[in-house]
Amino acid sequence: MSKVVKESISSVFVTGATGFVGKMLCRHLLDKGYPVAGTVRSREKIFELPSQMEYHLIDDIGPYTDWTGVLENVDTIVYLAARVHVMQETSTDPLDEYRRVNTYGTERLAYMAAKAGVRRIIYLSTIKVNGEKTPPHPSPLPQGESGYFREDAMPAPQDHYAISKWEAEQILGRIAGETGFEVVIIRPPLIYGPGVGGNFKRLLGRVNNGVPLPLSRVNNRRSLIYLGNLVDAIVTCIDHKDAAGKTFLVSDGEDISTPDLIRMIAKAMGKRPRLIPFPLSLLKAIGRFSGKSAEIERLSGSLCIDNSKIREVLGWKPPYTMEEGIRETVRWYKDSTRSVRC
């Protein structure tokens, strides 16, 4: 585990405490002796929280959320709650809905946090603020380009989610300048680990079921982050004095191609990867025809992160290797599918 510079234990308030990241973060904080409180969206979710932590029922985060009394005696807020990608969008104005939760909800909490005397807000953003992809690896790159996203690169958010997150980052910076509280921004790439959903869970299922995957000719590089590594980075940022006012890109530090990721998953499952050759141009054409261009692009495109800033500024390094993270994720997946069958 990385070393944290701190003078005393901070009281931590976690929004999205029952989410994918929040569950592990709250348990980890409690194990390290932090007083922890968090938000839940429904009473049914209360039972998902550790019994040692306090909870506050906040069913909707937005520009009018009433945080009165909730933030008393809180030193640090870890802001995880967000409107993430919606597979079946029903809103007539999706960007406005993302902004309502991710941008204006953040603004509301930040102002009330400053009023309550909160010292620091750690905001979980997304690497999509930087953009959707980096140049392919390997390839000749223009002079001055590294093929990696860095903190000082010009933001280039493209979808509604990323735009709302980038706007929230800017608002936090403005309010911090006005009020004096500290802001730390963390931009992770795809997060995997126990409890993962979405495309990564579907990939686990396909590998587990022996589905042939037409990806053997993909020659890309992608940065990922294991949930345990992300949680460790967040905890490092809670009390480290040099984290204040910084933006950090975080990853496992082990860029991997999609075919090699599938091979690693298959190895952890004790299975043989079923990768078949298929022309990438034809695969992309099928994606356009089927409405799955974005999914094909994530599988075939490159997105690489330079995480040297958080290593150098905070002395942080991922406590888990990617192979260890994949093994834990596969173990969880097998346990969860086994319990469903039972």
Which of 161, 192, 226, 333 is labelled catalytic?
Answer: 161
pLDDT tens string 188-217: 999 999 999 999 999 999 999 999 999 999
Query: Does residue 217 fall inside a structural domain?
Result: no
**Sign (positive/negative) of CA torsion 50, 52, 53, 55?**
positive
Query: Does residue 203 fall inside a structural domain?
Result: no
At residue 283, the pLDDT reads 86
138 preceded by a cis bond (ω within 30 of 0): yes
Q: Of how many residues is the chain composed? A: 342
At residue 87, the pLDDT reads 46
Here the CATH number for the domain that contains residue 78 is 3.40.50.720
Query: Does residue 99 fall inside a structural domain?
Result: yes
Tally of domains within the chain = 1
Give every CB contact of residue 270 below 8 A, 6+ residues apart in sequence: none
Question: Does the structure show a pLDDT above 60 at 69?
Answer: yes
Long-range contacts of 295-299 (CB under 8 A, 24+ apart): 295/199, 297/132, 297/133, 298/199, 299/215, 299/218, 299/258
pLDDT tens string 127-164: 999 999 987 655 554 444 458 999 999 999 999 999 99
Query: Does residue 86 fall inside a structural domain?
Result: yes
**Is 161 one of the annotated active-site residues of the chain?**
yes
Please report, to the nearest 10 degrees, the dihedral formed by the alpha carbons of residues 16, 36, 246, 256 taken in order.
Answer: -60
CA distance 133 to 140: 16
Structure tokens belonging to residue 260:
């090699």
Query: Does residue 310 fall inside a structural domain?
Result: yes
Instruction: Report which DSSP code applies to 44.
Output: G
At residue 2, the pLDDT reads 41
Domain that holds residue 246: 12-196+223-255+303-320
How many CB atoms lie under 10 A from the CB of residue 193? 23
Please report, to the nearest 10 degrees, the dihedral formed by the alpha carbons of residues 87, 154, 168, 10 taken in order.
Answer: 110
pLDDT tens string 295-333: 888 888 999 999 999 999 999 999 999 999 999 999 999
Q: Which residue in 153, 154, 145, 155 sits closest to 125, CA to CA?
A: 155
pTM as predicted: 0.91
Question: Does the structure show a pLDDT above 60 at 14?
Answer: yes
Query: Does residue 142 fall inside a structural domain?
Result: yes
Q: Are 149 and 221 in contact (CB under 8 A)?
A: no
Query: Does residue 40 fall inside a structural domain?
Result: yes
If DSSP states are collapsed to H, E and C, what string results for 110-174? HHHHHHHCCCEEEEECCHHHCCCCECCCCCCCCCCCCCCECCCCCCCCCCHHHHHHHHHHHHHHH
The DSSP annotation for 276-297 comes to: ----HHHHHHHHHHHT-HHHHH
Query: Does residue 292 fall inside a structural domain?
Result: no
